[in-house]
Chains A and B, each alone.
Chain A
Amino acid sequence: ELKVEQNPLFLSMQEGKNYTIYCNYSTTSDRLYWYRQDPGKSLESLFVLLSNGAVKQEGRLMASLDTKARLSTLHITAAVHDLSATYFCAVDFMNRDDKIIFGKGTRLHILP
């Protein structure tokens, strides 16, 4: 069964702190996407990770992919209030099962 699990599902943190969101998946894939969703809004693409060891950075966010561990991480450095949102990972199984499976999302609340 194709499964994608994110943790934590909810995270409240202080500004200036570092934290990591984890995305585990059940079956081999080497393509993974991270999206951001603001309340009441649509999803916005953040990162596209297309190979083992891929690392992408944008501002205070850095995403990485370890296909052998079936794990992606989204690391937040020195969090600021503007990063408060829900973050989704999505694992691409299109070449195997014709599916992209989303995690349940991590609701991030950064306290000023």
Chain B
Amino acid sequence: NAGVTQTPKFRILKIGQSMTLQCTQDMNHNYMYWYRQDPGMGLKLIYYSVGAGITDKGEVPNGYNVSRSTTEDFPLRLELAAPSQTSVYFCASSYRDYLNHEQYFGPGTRLTVT
């Protein structure tokens, strides 16, 4: 199993450009998440999905959009990039049962907006 994969690994965007961060998992997990991590800080939840076709906002959703058309894929779209979106973005997945939401993280995408 590849686990959680993310592309690209690095990207530099100009202000106002748009891009999509890709995330794929091959563990048949129902839950998927997008986080951002600013330097020296913890993780903040942007969006999450409890299954194909269902998405919901996290703590910091403004400026982002997501979709979940399949169990495996959960892309994150940035529209009109701003310098405040410079961060490292992590995708994660988990298999929810009543007890356990242990998350498996992808390698991250380092995004710079200038």
Contacts and interface: CB of A to CB of B under 8 A. Distances in A.
Contacts of B103: 33, 43, 45, 90, 100
Interface of B: 33, 35, 40-45, 56, 58, 90, 92, 96, 98-108
Interface string A25-54: 000000101010000011111001010000
Contact of A45 (B35, B102, B106): B102
Interface residues of A, number: 23
Given A42-B106, A42-B107, A102 B101 contact: no
A42 B20 CA distance: 20
Contacts of A81: none
Given A100-B103, A102-B44, 11 more contacts: A35-B105, A42-B106, A43-B43, A44-B105, A48-B100, A50-B100, A94-B101, A98-B56, A100-B33, A102-B42, A103-B42
A85 B40 CA distance: 12
Interface of A: 31, 33, 35, 41-45, 48, 50, 88, 90, 92, 94-95, 98-100, 102-105, 107
Nearest to B110: A40
Main SS class of interface, B: loop
B33 to A, nearest CB: 8
- The list of the 9 closest CB pairs from A to B, nearest first, reads A104-B42, A102-B42, A43-B105, A102-B43, A42-B105, A48-B102, A42-B107, A92-B101, A50-B99
Contacts of B104: 45
Given A42-B107, A98-B56, A33 B102 contact: yes
B102 A88 contact: no
Contact of B90 (A42, A48, A103): A42
B107 to A, nearest CB: 5
A100 B45 contact: yes
Contacts of B33: 100
A100 B92 CA distance: 12
A44 to B, nearest CB: 8
Contacts of B99: 31, 50
Contacts of A105: 41-42
B43 to A, nearest CB: 4
